[in-house]
Structure formats: structure tokens, C-alpha cells
Chains A and B, each alone.
Chain A
Amino acid sequence: MARVVVNVPADAKRGEVIEIRTLAGHVMESGFRRTERGVLIPRDIITRFVCTYNGVEIFSAELYPAMAANPLISFTTVATESGALEFKWTGDNGYAVTESAKISVA
């Protein structure tokens, strides 16, 4: 199940620094492990994460095999205007999940 959770404050003051937390459910299989029979388990990871704020990219991250399962990505931004934040995770085997959150800035 490709479940993701984002945590964005619903309201903020203009110019306030807000913290955004995202959690993506993913096995992050490194591609270095083997089964009991010695067969290599193919790599299956999230490779990229992007966050846009009213269409403008404000944060992105490249992910690599050393990252733990269910990666938690937390970052801050300045609340500039009301609108929507879009989150997108992409990865191996066609993994692509999007999520959005609304923020109202007073």
C-alpha cells in the first residue's frame, strides 16, 4: 500500500517559518541484500521527493539505498501566501505518489 502522510499547519501568519513533515510508507529495499538462497533482492527505493508551494518548487531531495524504510522528510519554509502544497515521491518500479495540503496565510 503506497501510503503517505503529510503534516502541514492549517493556518500561519505571513512571513512565519513553518515546519512540514512527510512520511512515506516504502520498504526502501537497498538492492544489496540477498535471500536465504543467495539470490540478490532487486533494488526498490524512492529516488526523488519534490514539494511545490503554489506551483513553485520549495524543496526537493534525492534518496539513496542507504536510507531507512518509511522515510521521514522534515523541512521548513516561509509561509508567503494561502494556497496548496503539492508533494510528489517517485522511485523504482514506477512508484509515484502525490499528496497535497492546504494552508491559509493571514
Chain B
Amino acid sequence: MRFFLAVFAFLLLTAEIPLAERRSGYEFMGRETRAMQDDDTTNPALLWVLDGEALFKTNCSGCHVDLKGVAARFPKVKEGRAVSLDQQINACLKGKPFPYESRELLALTAYVAKQSRGMPIQSEWNEATKPFLERGRAIFNRRQGQLNLACAQCHDDNWGKQLSGSVIPQAHPTGYPIYRLEWQGMGSVQRRFRNCLIGVRAEPYAYGAPEYVELEMFLMWRARGMKLETPAVRP
């Protein structure tokens, strides 16, 4: 009985954020960091975007002219797998994929995703996506690590409060890949997941693991309709 009460209490606590109350991480940032993201000439992610433009011209422009709106629809289900944007880019570069978190892959992903800046995230809960989204939601709600915390406990239940010096955001992946001041560089959403997993003292998955992609897919569904900000700056 106590167990069921605990489960019931947990379910009550981890209520998802109502659509109208969703806030991008941008709104939790300081004035200076917001200004840095808003102005293309001061946004350091520009250095990656320009590299990405050069890589796009040599590797992709044979088939693609522009990829406006594409990033707003990823991760996608393809051949029974959830595929993230960087994985799709690597799949396109037949035979010579860039390693995860390499400068080249981040640059290309940032360049492609920037073309969807300002567009609403499109994600549907349908027959094809349902199993992946459900697994992603399960990961989001599952307690893990030595601290025994679920993503939802911070990002659904306690957003807006402080975790040591920082405000807890709602975990909407609206601006990836991001330039993170703490990293002094660019990183993917998977690097950010890794960061949180280490934070709760769980063992992170390897880059490219299906768990990461499913979690990203669920978070994109959770952020559906919100505007893409790529390349975002985060503290």
C-alpha cells in the first residue's frame, strides 16, 4: 500500500509543464548572455556556423540547396530507428562520418540548424513515433544515479528554482548545438545530457546511444511549437 502511495505521489509530483507555461532556457539567462546570443556578430557560435557553411559547400551542396525547416523536425524515425540531426548528417556523408562532438560535425549541424531559426519545433505523437517517445518519456521520468534523481524532478517539478548558483531551466532543447560559456565552446544536446547524468552520478551513455536520441525526441515533442534558436548561447 505504501508503495502504491509512493508511486501515486511521484506521479502527482511529476506533472508535465502546461504548454502555455513553457519557457526557453533563454528566458532564464542574464541580460548579457541574452545579448550575446541575439547579436550575430557577438555570438561566438558564428565561428562554428562559418566553418559549417564551408563544409556544407564542399560536402552537401551537390544535393542540397538549403535545409530550411529541417532541424525543426528532428530527431526522426527512419528504418525503425530514432535518428538525430547529426546522425542524419553523418549518414549523408557516406563513408566518411565525423566523430561525435568533433568541430566539423558540430559546425555542420549548427549551420544546418541555424537555417530553421525562428521556426516552430514540429513533433507529432503518432503510431510511428509513439514507441520512441514513450521510451524517451520513461528515461525522463526514471530515477537514476547515486543521487537517485529523474530529469523530471528538476526540470518539470522545480524549474525556476536555484540549484546552487544557477536557475533550473525547463530543459527544452530549443537551441542545439549550443555555445556554452562553461564549455568555452560548442556542444550537442547529447553532451548536455551527459553533463546532467554525471551531475546525478549516473553513468552516461556512449555518444550516439539510442537512449539519448529517444530522450531528445521526447524533449522535442515536449517543446513542440516553441521556436528554434540555434545557435543558442547558454551559461
The reply to whether B41 and A21 form a contact with Cβ atoms under 8 Å apart is yes
Q: How large is the interface on A (under 10, 10 to 19, 20 to 34, 35 or more residues)?
A: 10 to 19
The reply to whether B46 and A23 form a contact with Cβ atoms under 8 Å apart is yes
Q: Which residues of A contact B47 (CB under 8 A)?
A: 3, 5, 23, 25, 70
Indicate whether B51 reaches chain A with its CB closer than 8 angstroms. yes
The reply to whether A3 and B185 form a contact with Cβ atoms under 8 Å apart is no
Closest chain A CB from B36 CB (angstroms): 8
Q: Which residues of A contact B51 (CB under 8 A)?
A: 1, 3
Closest chain B CB from A87 CB (angstroms): 14
Contact with A along B32-74 (1 / 0, CB 8 A): 0000000001101011001100000000000000000000000
Contact among B41, B50, B184 with A69 in the assembled complex (CB-CB below 8 Å):
B184
The reply to whether A3 and B41 form a contact with Cβ atoms under 8 Å apart is no
Closest chain B residue, CB of each to CB of A71: B44
Given A1-B51, A5-B50, A70-B47, A23:B41 Cβ within 8 A: yes
Q: Which residues of A contact B185 (CB under 8 A)?
A: 69-70
Closest chain B CB from A51 CB (angstroms): 16
Q: How large is the interface on B (under 10, 10 to 19, 20 to 34, 35 or more residues)?
A: 10 to 19
Indicate whether A68 reaches chain B with its CB closer than 8 angstroms. yes
Q: Which residues of B contact A21 (CB under 8 A)?
A: 41-42
Q: Which residues of B contact A70 (CB under 8 A)?
A: 44, 47, 184-185
Indicate whether B15 reaches chain A with its CB closer than 8 angstroms. no
Closest chain B residue, CB of each to CB of A6: B41
Q: Which residues of A contact B184 (CB under 8 A)?
A: 27-28, 68-70
Contact among A5, A27, A68 with B46 in the assembled complex (CB-CB below 8 Å):
A5
In the bound assembly, the distance between CA atoms of A72 and B181 in angstroms comes to: 13
Q: Which residues of B contact A5 (CB under 8 A)?
A: 41, 46-47, 50
The reply to whether A7 and B44 form a contact with Cβ atoms under 8 Å apart is no
Closest chain A residue, CB of each to CB of B39: A21
Closest chain B CB from A39 CB (angstroms): 20
In the bound assembly, the distance between CA atoms of A5 and B47 in angstroms comes to: 8
CB contact list, B180-208 vs A, under 8 A? 181, 184-185
In the bound assembly, the distance between CA atoms of A25 and B181 in angstroms comes to: 14
Q: Which residues of B contact A7 (CB under 8 A)?
A: 41
In the bound assembly, the distance between CA atoms of A69 and B181 in angstroms comes to: 9
Closest chain B CB from A46 CB (angstroms): 14
Closest chain B residue, CB of each to CB of A19: B41
Closest chain B residue, CB of each to CB of A22: B41
Q: Which residues of B contact A27 (CB under 8 A)?
A: 184
Q: What are 14 A-B pairs at a CB distance below 8 A?
A: A3-B47, A3-B50, A3-B51, A5-B41, A5-B46, A5-B47, A5-B50, A21-B41, A21-B42, A23-B46, A25-B47, A70-B47, A70-B185, A74-B42
Chain A residues at the B interface, C-beta cutoff of 8 Å: 1, 3, 5, 7, 21, 23, 25, 27-28, 68-70, 72, 74
Other A-B pairs beyond A5-B47, A23-B46, 13, CB < 8 Å? A1-B103, A3-B51, A5-B41, A5-B46, A23-B42, A23-B47, A25-B47, A69-B44, A69-B184, A70-B44, A70-B184, A70-B185, A72-B42
